[in-house]
Amino acid sequence: MKEDSEEDSSEDEAPGEMDFLRNLFSSALGLGSGTGEKVLDELTLDGVAKYMLSGKCKNIICMAGAGISTSAGIPDFRSPGTGLYANLQKYNLPNPEAIFQIDYFKQHPEPFFALAKELYPGQFKPTICHYFMKLLKDKGLLKRCYTQNIDTLERVAGLEGNDLIEAHGTFYTSHCVSFCCRKEYSLDWMKEKIFADEIPKCEKCSSLVKPDIVFFGENLPVRFFTSMKMDFPRCDLLIVMGTSLQVQPFASLVSKVSRNCPRLLINMEKTGQADPMLGMLGFGGGMDFDSDKAYRDVAQISTCDDGCLALADLLGWKVSDFWPYQNLKTKSWQLI
């Protein structure tokens, strides 16, 4: 699940982690493509904007985490005091992550569906960040959005199935958990059950029905791996927004772009940085914002909305071009 759907199953981790390790060792042994060329005039948001306007940037991939939805009122996972994991005491869980563990869910589905009622898609509206990605699509620049989120706000903002890789699944569809059945159910069907305070049961076999979000212990969608191999080698600019980059294999995606591809992080803190010791040994892959060897990574430390607004301004794009809610009551862009 998750912004940060913590540990996925070993089957999920293996492809991403093995590729990551291969990249590390090929770099250390001098078998890679060598040091990348500096594409940006300067390692700033302005440098990214100039590159986007140069005509050389035609395929942008966005990687999104829970931080892009916090201004919509949806809590992220790890923020101290306000994050989802810090506020699950009322469900009497053995540990906060249990609410998204598949084995626990099958035995005790009640806590998950109670939480789902609080956070169910359709109760929140997309943010400036979501609509900025839609604007990238409208301008023919968005190759794909890889999202960790399950709130479906990318779809509400106008991105379609082909634009999205919902790495940790989605509430958009649900399935019976029985391997012998696997009957599919719609978003509306699941919503009706949840808001009636019913535990959704399959109409065909009476087994539990679960939204198609990836719980701990479940496989990531096959499409995540197949699309990753096609998309990232073609990427001209990677924009990473609102994610801690702590969850594999999603976090390893930053290493899948070419060595020449600039990477922009829009987040409240720097994440995804390479381990200093590995860097000394010549290993690559992680983000490098501050070392003497930094040549392509830019960190915009701000909220995701403010970062997207700042980039849009540098590009000469007006808020009215992509933000449909013009009646704003505060600078924090809350909806009236």
Residues making up the binding site for Zn(2+): 176, 181, 202, 205
- 81: how many CB neighbours lie within 10 A of its CB? 6
| DSSP state for residue 113 in the 8-state scheme | H
Q: Are 224 and 248 in contact (CB under 8 A)?
A: no
Alpha carbon distance 107, 223 (integer Å): 29
Residue count of the chain, please give it.
Answer: 336
Q: In the chain, helix, strand, coil percent, each to 5?
A: 40, 15, 45
Which position among 108, 130, 168, 175 bears the catalytic label? 168
Annotated binding-site ranges for NAD(+): 66-70, 76-78, 148-151, 243-244, 267-269, 304
Check: CB of residue 243 under 8 Å from CB of residue 271. Answer: yes
Residue labelled with tokens 């990473």: 240
DSSP state of 221: P
168 given a catalytic annotation: yes
Query: What is the rounded CA–CA span in Å between residue 101 and residue 120?
Result: 18
- Binding site: what residues are annotated? 66-70, 76-78, 148-151, 176, 181, 202, 205, 243-244, 267-269, 304
Which pairs count as long-range contacts for 104-113, CB under 8 Å and 24+ apart, including other chains?
A: 105/208, 105/210, 105/215, 106/177, 106/208, 109/199, 109/208, 110/199, 113/194, 113/199, 113/200
What is the signed CA dihedral for 181, 182, 188, 191, rounded to 10 degrees?
90
**Pair of tokens at residue 76:** 């992220």
**Distance between alpha carbon 225 and the CA centroid of its chain, in Å?**
15
d(C-alpha 295, C-alpha 164), whole Å: 29
- From the list 115, 24, 16, the residue with the least C-alpha distance to 75 is 115
Positions marked active-site: 168
